[in-house]
Amino acid sequence: MSLLPKGWPMAARRERTHFTIPGLQQQASDKTVALLQERLVALIDLQLTLKHIHWNVVGPTFIGVHLMLDPQVEAVEGMVDTTAERMATMGASPNGLAGNIVATRTWDDYGLGRASVMQHLGALDLAYAGVVEGHRKAIDKTEQLDPVTQDLLIEQSEGLEQFHWFVRAHLETPEGVLLTEGAKDEESAAEQAARVDPGVQFAKR
């Protein structure tokens, strides 16, 4: 049973680490663990979003995207596990509980339910962009804190950026312009992408 008052946010339930990896300063470890927890939340949310799209994408060309997403779900699940285990290795307690994800993330739930291929791909472009950008910021911050964790994040980023490319390839015109260009959120990205029929040749801008 928790000793915290009922209603306290899950973010308040962090445990202080009393040990870390030999040769790593405790302060650097604590900062690294905080960054890893942020990335853990982002990766779990991405994994759930990918599976949600896998279930809800519809339309004549749905099968290609439906099948494309399963390996991405599996790969991101592996990244989740690796991130959590790195935190545990550093003496921290990774928190992947649903309540903590909702309490600590800085973005809203994925907004689409059943929707077309292009709508989901447009929204997923922005979802991936947020995760990729967050990982790159964490890579910069861990350069001096913990190079081993930085290597882990770099390896994950390679996979995430490739998956993002798979999505964007569906949204790119022959001139190299993204249909989601300028979109401020997932809903507007979905709307912009849906204006183009994938069976019709893209018009030049």
Q: For residue 154, which amino acid is it?
A: I
The answer to whether the beta carbons of residues 128 and 59 sit under 8 Å apart is: no
Identify the pLDDT of residue 200: 37
| Predicted confidence (pLDDT) per residue in 21-54, tens digit | 999 999 999 999 999 999 999 999 999 999 999 9
Contacts of 153 (CB under 8 A, 6+ apart): 39, 135, 138, 139, 142
Alpha helices in the chain (DSSP H): 26-56, 62-89, 98-104, 117-145, 147-169, 186-194
Q: Is the dihedral of CA 92, 98, 101, 102 positive or negative?
A: negative
Q: Catalogue all structural domains in the chain, each as residue range(s) with its CATH number.
A: 24-194 (1.20.1260.10)
Cα–Cα distance measured from residue 195 to residue 96, given in angstroms and rounded to the nearest whole number: 37
Identify the pLDDT of residue 197: 55
| Predicted confidence (pLDDT) per residue in 114-153, tens digit | 999 999 999 999 999 999 999 999 999 999 999 999 999 9
Query: How does residue 204 score in pLDDT terms, banded at 50, 70 and 90?
Result: very low
| Predicted confidence (pLDDT) per residue in 97-113, tens digit | 999 999 999 989 999 99
Is pTM beyond 0.75 here?
Answer: yes
Q: Average pLDDT of the chain?
A: 90
